[in-house]
Structure formats: C-alpha cells, structure tokens
Structure 1
Amino acid sequence: MVSEVLSGLLVKILESKGKTRDFVLREFDKKLFRAIVENNPKRRPRRVQEYKYFMLMSMLWSVLRNIDRGIISHEYLKRAVQTLVNGALLGNKEQEDANRKFKEQYGTAPPAFVVISPTMACNLHCKGCYAASHSGARFNLSYSIVKRILQEIHDFWGARFAVISGGEPMMYKSDGKTILDIFNEFSDMFFLMYTNGTLIDEEKARRMAALGNITPAISVEGYEKETDERRGKGVYKKVLQAFENLRKYGVPFGVSITATRHNAELLIEPEFYDFYFDEQGISYMWIFQYMPIGRGIDTQLMPTPEQRLKMLERWEVCLKEERRFVADFWNSGIVSDGCIAYGRPGGYLYIDWNGNIMPCVFVPYYVDNIKEIFAAGKTINDALFSEFFKKGREWQLRYGYEYGAQPGNWFMPCSIRDHYDNFKRHIASMVKPEDENAKVALEDPSYHKAMVEYDEK
C-alpha cells in the first residue's frame, strides 16, 4: 500500500509543474521519510535509513532540475515513467508474482538485476582497464544468449532493470543486431549503460530518446587533462560532444569516474560537481574507487584511507546539502545494506563476454558459465547456488545484512577489496580466474600482502 501511494505521488511529481508539483513533492518527501526512516521495517540503524532517504531524494531532485532546464524531454519522460518508475523502481503484480514464486522454490528472494558485458571489444585502450578491453578483442555473447539472459531475469526474478557494461557496448554486434536492438526488444525494462561515449553521435542519441528506456553513464577521469591521460588524446572532446548530443535529444545521462590515489583530491573539490551537474547537465555521477584488477594491476593506485574519508564527507554534502545524486563505490555501501554481489536478494551478478558468471564486475572469478548452463538445459537460477556464490552470501549475512540494527562497517562493504584475506581463504576456493590478470592476482603473494595491508589501515 505504501509503495502504491509513493508511486502515484512520484508519477504526479514528474508530470506536473509549478505550485502543483511543489505541493505533491512536499507530500512525497514526508511520506518517503516516514516509510524509510521512521517505519524502518528491517530495523536498520537510523543513520543507515537516513542515507537511503537522502539518496532517493537527491535522485529525484537531480532529475527535476534537468526537466526544468529542458534537457530531459517530456517524450522520454513519459516512457521512462513506465519502465523505470512503475517497473524497475516500484514494481507491479507480475513482478510480485515472480518474486513470490522464486521465494517458494528457493527459500529466498531473487536478485534485482544483472550486469552484462556483451562484448570485450573497445575502441579505446585505457590504462588500468578492469576488463583489459581493446579494439582487437573478438569475444562476444551472441544476441540469442543476451536475449535469453534478460528474458529469464524478467520472467524468473521479475527484474525490470539491467546494466550493460563492456568493453564498449556501442561496438556490440551479433546476428546483425546492436545493443540498441536489445533495448528495443525489452521495452518494459530500463537499462543503465556504461560507455566511453565516443560513439554516441546524433543519430544514436536520437534513437535512445525514442526508446526512452536507456541512460548512458559516460566515463571520465576528471577534466580533459585527466581523461585524455588515461583514455587517449582527444577523447574528452568526444565526450563533451556526446553530452551535447544527448542534451539535444533530451536523454538523461551521467558520468562514471574511477577514483584513484592520483585524482581523488579532484573529486573532493566542489567545483568538480558544479561543472558536471550545473554546466554539463548530468543527472547522476558514479564514482568507482579503483580496484586493482584487469590491465596493469597496481595496488598503489587505490585511494588512501584518508582520501576515502574525504570523499565520504564530500558525498554527504552532495546528498544532504546540494541534493545531487552521487553514488560512491564503496563509500555508499551504507545505502544498499552492504555488498550487493553474489546474487544477493535485491542484488546482482555479473556475466562477461565469454559467458562467465561472476559475483561482481570487480570480482573476476567464476565457477559457472551461462552458455554451458543453457546448453545443459538449466537456467540462470542454477548459477545462484554454486558454493562460490553461497559462501559470498553467507559472508554478507555475517557482516550484517541479516542483523538489522547491528551491521558491520558498511563504509567498507566490499568482500574482495575491503576484506581480501577472508575472500581468498573462505570464499574464493575452487574458483576459476576470468583471465590471466585475475590468475596472477590470486596467486601472487605480494598482491595478497598489499591487499591485506590496505584493509588493515
């Protein structure tokens, strides 16, 4: 009942203007605060619930500002309300039925979404790429496999949201189809796509606007200097052109940033957020603190504990004072009740271009492969119950997911980055590495030592 009331108010907010919207917005704000913070059905610490409330309200305010600026089109908004608001965020009876059936069969709730990297190919060659992607890569998931993955999570989990990563998703081609054809086929789902942005021309932006169920998160490393140093000369100008194309056709977009020891200080400056939110018109910002995997592993690139604390303080200002939607992985672990990997209820799993099924984009180890699972007559659900995934979820529970008012430190929620010794000793037994880089990391004593020392700081 509460979700239905909030859903109705949210739709009214997005569809109204002026004093009417102001009135409905105040009502929504009060009811959301009451539902999340005061009622608090899972008995989480009040501070945890307050972060969730501020996060949701900052998301709404970021979108409303860009609607008022005219850089999110009303046509896009109408379609997004159906897919993102009514589907992915608030759900419907069809989704509730799928969730109930899953619980009856498996004794637990399903994950909420998947992250799929359908291709390893990329037109850039970025330093430290977690996926070690490059233009010569030919590893692809077939269109039929991607389609079946999405159909199964849609039907079995009631999922109406998915994340597309890479490689560069805009380079994906299979059976004459592109990634935009996937979005078109699953028109009742909403997609977040991580992209370098260099291939988003006017025609691509126009088509995204027509689809109304996709938002691109475009990678930057800071400003032009930082971005071109890591991604290649001239890339930043192409990114700014992509921003312009998306604004022209009214598609909401955001940026994705890898925080390292070298650019962390930049991410603390207020002017950085002013530039991207106010001048460039982004609707959200994802900050991923560097995880030493992939190409050119370097544990010294991780932000220092002192930098993490400063970034946490800056994130709080973004949410509570500036009402800007910023998610900092992993400082924002508090709003998701900790780690959401390993197919946790309400969480996700990751499938790469080879079909390997991993707990997380930043945990490059696997047991099962989706192509092999399908060939054996099984479904994606079977991958959720490998010993690897079950051990990961058991750790999540012990670290506080099941304890309500007494969780662990959700500002350090990552099973591999913040708890590496435990990960290697108790979770990652009998796993296969995604690639040679992951194999080296798992077997290298110096890597183990550096990760443990980082965790203990």
Structure 2
Amino acid sequence: MLKQLLFKTDKRCLYKFIYNLGIKGVLSFNRFQNRLKKGEFFPAFHFISVTDDCNLNCQGCWVMGKKKNSRMSAEQLDQIITETKAQGSYFFGILGGEPLLYKPLFEVFEKHSDCYFQLFTNGTLLTADVAEKLRKCANVTPLISFEGDEEVADVRRGGTNVWQRTHEAIDHATNAGLVTGVAMSVCKSNLELAMSPEFINSLIKKGVTYLWYYIYRPVGENATVELSLSREEIEQLRSHMVEARTKYDLAIIDAYWDGEGNGLCPAASGLSHHINASGYIEPCPVIQFATDRVGEKPLAEIYRSSAFLRDLKVEIPKKTSGCIIMEDPQWLVDFVEKYEAADTSGRDDEAERLRAMEKVCSHGSGKPIPEKSWAYKFAKKRAFFGLGAYG
C-alpha cells in the first residue's frame, strides 16, 4: 500500500493526503478527545449530503422516494465547513444522492484547500475529465461504491451496466493518480464477492488504496430488509476483515468496530454527525430525524444546547453497541417522538416505517473479534480513526 501511495499517487494529492488528512486529522482527533474530557462536544467530523439528486435508484438508499429533492446552497455548505474548521476539524465526508450532480462541488473543494474531502460516489459520472479536476484540487479521495458482480450490481443499484461503469470510474481515478477507495455495502447478495481474494486482488491490481466495508442497513423507500446479514454472516465478515488486514496490500477500513472488536456507533460516540441536503443535523445518515437545522444558530451552539443529540448519545449505548435502527427501530421512534423531532426523510412516513420494520442483526450482535494487526489497533485509537475506521 505504501509503495502504491508513494510511487503511483500524484505528488500534490499525496501531500494533501499526508498533511490535510494525516497530520491535521490526528490533531483534530486530539482536539475532539480534549473537548470530551472537558465535558464539551463538537463532532470530530461531519458527513454532509449536498444534494438528494441521483442517477440511480439503490436498494436501501435513504434518499429515494422524497416528495421533493433538496440541494444545499453553496453558501450553507461553506458555512458548515468554515464553522467546523473553527473547531479544529478539517475532514468532511461528502454524500448525496450523487454528489457529482452538485454543481458548486469543485468550487467548494478549491476554496477549502486546507481541508480533506472524501467523496462518496456511485462512480457512474466519474469520467476522465472529472478525475482530472479532482487531481487538480488534490484534496479529495473518491470513495467509489461497488455493490456486486455484473448481475447483482444492476439489481442493487437500480441501473444498467453499473458494474462496467464502476470499473471505468476506478480506472479513471487511479490513472489520474488519486488516492482511490472502493466501498461495499455488504449484504446477502454480495457477501461472497466482498470476501473473495480475486475481487480484492483485482482492486489492488487497479491501484486502489483502500477498501471500505459497510454493513447493509435497510432504510429508505426500498429498504429490502431481506438483504440484511445474519449474526453468523456479520461475524464471518468481521473475521474476514481482521485476517485481510494482515495479508493484502491495501487498507481494509470498517466503520463499526474498535480495536478489540467491540461494536461502535459513530453517532452515539459523537465522532460524527450528518447534515442532510435540507440543512437538518441528524445523528447519522440513516436516522432521519432532527430537532436542529444549520443557520438557526452557530453549529457550536447547536451542539452545546441540543438535548436530542446529547441524550441520544447517552441512551443508545444502553440499548446496543451496534445500530439502533436495525436492532430496535421501535425504541428509536419512541425516543424521537419524546423529543418532538421532525421527520427529515422527505417522505413523511419514517416513524410509521420503523414501527412496522422487523428487527435485524447489526454489528453489535456478534461476538467481539479483536484486531490482529498492531497498526490497525493503533490507528483506531489515535490516528484519525484508522483512515475512517471509526467513521
């Protein structure tokens, strides 16, 4: 992986990766920890959905089915980034919809050249020209979704030729010298592929730097609960990741476990929160309820005063170390109704959907499987979440 970074990455992209993400990321994590010690709170970083617009229709997407799509204004996005930088944090996850449909995107990347952005994209719009623009910005790592083989990808993503277009996006990104990641939302239909040595080695051959595994979460208009992993499958995936970190020449990232293999909820820990395209501050992208909105108060004041966000961090760990929306969606509805939180799904039926949803296993359901790699153990404690290991 180091050889790939040092010799195949564009030099400006490499510098921004090391300085903006690495060095400044460690410092921002230290500030986050110091705030917690003093009883203060501001997330270590934000996920920001800049638009609800998308050119695909994925299973389990929290954006689909909205009565009206929202697009964040460039001014509001600039405000979020500026106020977050004032707290000493410089890393942002940029989501959609499909963020490459957001017209002011590259202007934002260029203006905030002191930050580092992770661009969550389905890849179908990541052309060679787009990759070149990202190379010139130098402070962006594209994280390209890869959801299955030629047959499964079209079903999962609700599109055509998605597998081929995703491969082309990876080639465009790596050929431009970008620090390139591939993400997979692991479910029953792609679990075998996710753990396949052939699949992982094909990414290494293409020059991919990191592979980020998520666990499929049944949310949105087309939740498709039957794709959710069983407890045994989750443990199988976790074991695979622990072993993969010791033998493959790319970084294996997860968002759900600490170094000892205990489940972790980034929202409940306060590491990250999500701001949707309408400006609502949500605990995470799949918990689509909020009591606070960007612009009503400064962000720092919102995080100091929001009883909803504060108490959620206290109450979720009492229920689970995993994902509350999977393990006890009915409890979540009771909680948000107690705080009179607004439905921010854009569908106006999220509480009703969760009331009717069956409970499924999450990463908090299985037995702890500790990391074997000392580097990952260290990263998960100190080095900016192990390039995303906590986020």
TM-score of the aligned structures, taking structure 2 as reference length: 0.82
State how far apart, in whole Å, the 1-side matches of 2:164 and 2:353 are.
40
Residues 355-408 of structure 1: per-residue CA shift (max 9 Å, x gap): 11100012111111214x1xxxx2112332322211111135657xxxxxxxxx
2:95 to 148, 156, 165: 165
State how far apart, in whole Å, the 2-side matches of 1:234 and 1:115 are.
28
Q: How does 1:435-446 map to 2 (within 5 A)?
A: 435=345, 437=347, 439-442=349-352, 445-446=355-356
Q: Structure 2 vs 1, CA of residues 289 and 437 (structure 1 numbering), >3 Å: closer, same or farther? A: farther
Equivalent in the alignment of 2:14:
77
* One-letter code aligned to 1:171: L
Q: Is the 8 A contact 2:289 2:341 kept in 1?
A: yes
Q: Is the 8 A contact 1:125 1:133 kept in 2?
A: no
State how far apart, in whole Å, the 1-side matches of 2:165 and 2:68 are.
22
Q: Is the 8 A contact 1:113 1:160 kept in 2?
A: yes
State how far apart, in whole Å, the 1-side matches of 2:310 and 2:110 are.
34
**Residue 414 of structure 1: how far off its partner (Å):** 2.1
The higher radius of gyration belongs to 1
Q: Is the 8 A contact 1:161 1:191 kept in 2?
A: yes
3-state DSSP of counterpart to 1:341: helix
* One-letter code aligned to 1:108: E
Equivalent in the alignment of 2:4:
66
2:359 to 437, 442, 451: 451
Equivalent in the alignment of 2:325:
416
Equivalent in the alignment of 2:173:
246
State how far apart, in whole Å, the 1-side matches of 2:47 and 2:162 are.
25
* One-letter code aligned to 2:43: P
Alignment pair present for 1:202 and 2:128: yes
**Residue 428 of structure 1: how far off its partner (Å):** 5.7
Equivalent in the alignment of 2:308:
388
**Residue 262 of structure 1: how far off its partner (Å):** 1.9
State how far apart, in whole Å, the 1-side matches of 2:113 and 2:213 are.
28
Higher share of residues assigned helix: 1
Q: Structure 2 vs 1, CA of residues 111 and 386 (structure 1 numbering), >3 Å: closer, same or farther? A: same
State how far apart, in whole Å, the 2-side matches of 1:418 and 1:444 are.
11
Q: Structure 2 vs 1, CA of residues 387 and 443 (structure 1 numbering), >3 Å: closer, same or farther? A: farther
* One-letter code aligned to 2:16: R
Q: Structure 2 vs 1, CA of residues 159 and 220 (structure 1 numbering), >3 Å: closer, same or farther? A: same
* One-letter code aligned to 1:228: D
**Residue 434 of structure 1: how far off its partner (Å):** 1.8
Equivalent in the alignment of 1:132:
64
State how far apart, in whole Å, the 2-side matches of 1:263 and 1:65 are.
29
Equivalent in the alignment of 1:269:
196
State how far apart, in whole Å, the 2-side matches of 1:71 and 1:305 are.
39
Q: How does 1:204-223 map to 2 (within 5 A)?
A: 204-223=130-149
Q: Is the 8 A contact 1:357 1:383 kept in 2?
A: no
Alignment pair present for 1:369 and 2:293: yes
3-state DSSP of counterpart to 1:451: coil
State how far apart, in whole Å, the 2-side matches of 1:269 and 1:393 are.
36
* One-letter code aligned to 1:87: K
- CA-based RMSD of the aligned residues comes to 3.0
Q: Is the 8 A contact 1:368 1:383 kept in 2?
A: yes
Equivalent in the alignment of 2:244:
318
Equivalent in the alignment of 1:187:
113
Structure 2 residue runs of 5 or longer lacking an equivalent are 367-391
Alignment pair present for 1:144 and 2:75: yes
Equivalent in the alignment of 1:54:
none
State how far apart, in whole Å, the 2-side matches of 1:212 and 1:246 are.
12
Structure ranking higher on relative contact order (CA contacts 8 Å, 6+ apart): 2
Residues 186-236 of structure 1: per-residue CA shift (max 9 Å, x gap): 111111110111222222212211221100101111232222232311222
Q: Is the 8 A contact 1:364 1:438 kept in 2?
A: no
**Residue 179 of structure 1: how far off its partner (Å):** 0.8
Alignment pair present for 1:115 and 2:47: yes
Residues 107-159 of structure 1: per-residue CA shift (max 9 Å, x gap): 3243111110011111222233222179x96411110000000000100x210
Q: Structure 2 vs 1, CA of residues 162 and 362 (structure 1 numbering), >3 Å: closer, same or farther? A: same
3-state DSSP of counterpart to 1:370: coil
Q: Structure 2 vs 1, CA of residues 440 and 425 (structure 1 numbering), >3 Å: closer, same or farther? A: closer
Q: Is the 8 A contact 1:87 1:188 kept in 2?
A: no
Tell me the percent identity.
24
**Residue 419 of structure 1: how far off its partner (Å):** 4.3
**Residue 422 of structure 1: how far off its partner (Å):** 4.2
Q: Is the 8 A contact 1:133 1:167 kept in 2?
A: no
Q: Structure 2 vs 1, CA of residues 338 and 241 (structure 1 numbering), >3 Å: closer, same or farther? A: same
Q: Is the 8 A contact 2:291 2:342 kept in 1?
A: yes
State how far apart, in whole Å, the 2-side matches of 1:314 and 1:228 are.
25
* One-letter code aligned to 1:433: D
Alignment pair present for 1:153 and 2:153: no
Structure 1 residue runs of 5 or longer lacking an equivalent are 1-61, 400-408
Number of equivalenced pairs = 362
State how far apart, in whole Å, the 2-side matches of 1:333 and 1:436 are.
37
Equivalent in the alignment of 1:39:
none
State how far apart, in whole Å, the 2-side matches of 1:436 and 1:83 are.
34
Q: Is the 8 A contact 2:48 2:276 kept in 1?
A: yes
1:233 to 141, 145, 160: 160
TM-score of the aligned structures, taking structure 1 as reference length: 0.71
State how far apart, in whole Å, the 2-side matches of 1:146 and 1:212 are.
19
Equivalent in the alignment of 1:37:
none
